[in-house]
Amino acid sequence: MIRKLCYVDNLPDEGKLKAFADSRPDSHLSLCVGVLDGQPFAVDNLCPHQGAPLSAGKLDGENVVCPLHAWKWNLKTGGPLHAGDPALPSYELRQYGDEIFIRIPTERVGKEAC
């Protein structure tokens, strides 16, 4: 499923993070979005360790740093910095004109996503 996420103007500044949530009442999708080298990337916003909002953390290069305990994940892939840590689901974002769209895997529909 492909849905509009936002306008380009709503993206965070380069090297910053911002939370986005699906506005539909039956959705639990919460995203941590960052921009690297002019391209937006998105991963789940909740830390799998303690549930902290990762968008409240910071970027260290390409890595999202949890604000509670400094675990790190690659913003582009969702992969953990340390082997054995859980990966984060990542989402494909694409720009068409001045709009950003997200691809939500169909297996997430009806569970956590829209």
Q: Give 61-87 as a DSSP string.
A: TTEEE-TTT--EEETTT--BSSTTSPP
Q: What is the CATH number of the domain that holds 34?
A: 2.102.10.10
**Within a domain: 46:** yes
CA–CA separation, 94 and 102 (whole Å): 7
pTM given for the model? 0.87
> Are the C-beta atoms of residues 100 and 6 closer than 8 Å to each other?
yes
Domain of residue 49: give its range. Answer: 2-108
- Number of helices (H), then strands (E), belonging to the chain: the values are 0, 9
pLDDT at residue 13, rounded to an integer: 96
Token duo for residue 48: 């799998």
**Inside any domain, residue 54:** yes
Total number of domains in the chain? 1
- Contact between residue 31 and residue 43 where contact means Cβ atoms under 8 Å apart: yes
Confidence (pLDDT) at 17: 97
pLDDT in tens, the chain (114 residues): 888 999 999 999 999 999 998 766 666 789 999 999 999 999 999 999 888 999 999 999 999 999 999 999 999 999 999 888 999 999 999 999 999 999 987 764 444 443
- Residue 31 and residue 85: Cα distance in Å, rounded? 19
Q: Do the domain assignments include residue 114?
A: no
Q: Check residue 114 and give its pLDDT.
A: 35
Output the pLDDT for position 24: 66
